[in-house]
Structure 1
Amino acid sequence: MRNFLSGGGGDNVKQTDEENLKEDSPTSKKASSKFEGKFPLSKWELIAAISVFLIFTTGLLSVYATMPASQYGNIKFPRNISDLRLLKDHLAMYANDYPAQFILGYCSTYIFMQTFMIPGTIFMSLLAGALFGVMRGLVMVVLNATAGASSCYFLSKLIGRPLVSWLWPEKMRYFHAEIAKRREKLLNYMLFLRITPTLPNTFINLASPIVDIPFHIFFLATLVGLIPASYITVRAGLALGDLKSVKDLYDFKTLAVLFLIGSISILPTILKRKRTYE
């Protein structure tokens, strides 16, 4: 303002034009694009992430080391339903002979995969149904999935903000806006997200602490909200012979049922809004 009154306005306009030209230049855009694509974690955040991973890995290997010997050459992580059938056959006798050790190894593996977002937990859920039946398998899957999601929540609280914003910027803005609109009935909305495949569970685990969802709401919504989908998956594990692909688990009818159950969870929010507008 002082420069403008003293006759320096022309120089300021000229300087602003020069800055705008620099910002619009191809070289500037290229540098900006390069900066935006840069790996988001700082050196210390990366060290923290690696440290946590090594601690969990050491714990998992320690659990495996205490388990009775087996023919490990016949055991590999399944990549499809055929692999899962073979794995189930190899593990059935082992689980029967050493139930406590097997359950410890199963739970440790499930939590490890869920914490570090390693794909394949759906095979673990099918395996639980095949080996333990519906009720025991369902309890194991829901508890392990909740424990793993909680670990992922706290890991994201430590280093997740730059990573999630880098990987899913648009989805993160959408999620933040939706959470802001539903603060009063946050548990209902989180239940809806957990029950229905509206957003991937991995994204919910990572993004929840960043948008300030309290842990007790996150935990309760996860514990209860995962039951319907887990039941479907665990129950399918009883009939692995009839299952051709993982995609067969969630056909149109199954998805419709999940959305119906999820809609019931957000019904109080809808009714409250309706009363407010009236």
Structure 2
Amino acid sequence: MSAGQTGKKIALVLGFAGLLAFFYFSGLGRFLTLATLKANREALALYYADHRLLMVGSFIGVYIVQTALSLPGAALMSLAAGAIFGAFSGTLYSVIGATVGATAAFLATRYLLHDMMQRRFGERLEGINRELERRGLNYLLFLRLVPVFPFFLINLAAALTRLPFRTFFIGTFLGIIPGGFVFCNAGASLASVSSLSEVASPRVLGSFALLGLFALLPALYAKFRERGENHE
């Protein structure tokens, strides 16, 4: 690796570290509460009525940074989107912000660590890499739809494999639409929401798990058929 590449990687790491340090030491996290959102909803809605483009652009920008840095508050951001923009527009803006932020995290991790990971574990990961190159969209949709897998870990893990960038982008965009709509729809009726946990009820989580299984079925079927052909 050249000195220039090393310098760029160090600068990128320091930049991310600086932004993380600013968030945690500035105390911004104390504003990421449901109570704060409810108290300021009317003021945010009035500001949006007078400054629509600025509000939309600012919201998407904040969501991108929040997702790229894996900061807490994604669920609250989606509730806020529904409360300010409405269920459908809020879903669109949230999904755009989350997808671009996740893509930034994916690209940064791939730039920093992918080559090292492949050099060290390339042979062990070869089977996984081949499978992801062929049917990565199905696996990624499953991971995005089933909410037991942390969002930021999927971004990082995918970057360390040979999952194609296009597959990551499309799978992320499509896979987070259902969850985004659920939270934005709840945000549109913010007064009735008393906690974030009641939005992600067991029934809703079960529905996401079922969608995830449907997304995974084509890959499972292909694997089963290939295994049968190899035994013939």
* TM surpasses 0.5: yes
Task: Give the count of matched residue pairs.
Answer: 208
What residue is the counterpart of 1:47 in the other structure?
11
Map residues 190-205 of structure 1 onto 2, 5 A cutoff: 190-205=140-155
Which of 131, 146, 149 is the equivalent residue of 1:182?
Answer: 131
AA of the residue aligned to 1:106: F
What residue is the counterpart of 1:240 in the other structure?
190
Q: What's the CA shift string for 1:91-144, capped at 9, x where partnerless?
A: 111111111111111111111111111111211111110111111111111111
Which of 202, 205, 212 is the equivalent residue of 1:255?
Answer: 205
Gaps of 5+ in 1: 1-41, 56-74, 165-175
Cα separation, partners in 2 of 1:274 and 1:208, compared to 1, 3 Å: closer
Given that 1:115 and 1:151 are in contact with CA atoms closer than 8 Å, whether structure 2 keeps it comes out as: yes
Which of 214, 220, 227 is the equivalent residue of 1:264?
Answer: 214
- Return the structure number with greater relative CO, CA threshold 8 A, min gap 6: 2
Cα separation, partners in 2 of 1:256 and 1:177, compared to 1, 3 Å: farther
Q: What's the CA shift string for 1:243-267, capped at 9, x where partnerless?
A: 1111112111011100111111011
Query: 2: distance between equivalents of 1:128 and 1:228?
Result: 15
AA of the residue aligned to 2:168: F
1:121 equivalent in alignment to 2:71: no
Given that 1:156 and 1:209 are in contact with CA atoms closer than 8 Å, whether structure 2 keeps it comes out as: yes
Q: What's the CA shift string for 1:175-207, capped at 9, x where partnerless?
A: x69944733311101110011124211011122
Q: Give the TM-score taking structure 2 as reference length.
A: 0.79
Q: CA deviation at 1:89?
A: 2.2
Given that 2:64 and 2:97 are in contact with CA atoms closer than 8 Å, whether structure 1 keeps it comes out as: yes
Q: Give the TM-score taking structure 1 as reference length.
A: 0.67
AA of the residue aligned to 1:182: E
What is the DSSP-based 3-state SS (H/G/I as helix, E as strand, rest coil) of the residue aligned with 2:189? helix
Q: Percent identity?
A: 27
Structure with higher Rg: it is 1
Cα separation, partners in 2 of 1:104 and 1:54, compared to 1, 3 Å: farther
1:95 equivalent in alignment to 2:48: yes
Gaps of 5+ in 2: 1-5, 20-27, 118-124
Given that 2:129 and 2:162 are in contact with CA atoms closer than 8 Å, whether structure 1 keeps it comes out as: no
Indicate the larger mover: 203-212 or 257-266. Answer: 203-212
Q: CA deviation at 1:160?
A: 4.6
1:144 equivalent in alignment to 2:144: no
Map residues 159-178 of structure 1 onto 2, 5 A cutoff: 159-160=112-113
Query: 2: distance between equivalents of 1:130 and 1:44?
Result: 40
Indicate the larger mover: 75-84 or 102-111. Answer: 75-84
Given that 2:34 and 2:195 are in contact with CA atoms closer than 8 Å, whether structure 1 keeps it comes out as: yes
Cα separation, partners in 2 of 1:48 and 1:270, compared to 1, 3 Å: closer
What residue is the counterpart of 1:273 in the other structure?
223
Query: 1: distance between equivalents of 2:208 and 2:127?
Result: 20
What is the alpha-carbon root mean square deviation over aligned residues?
Answer: 2.9
AA of the residue aligned to 1:47: A
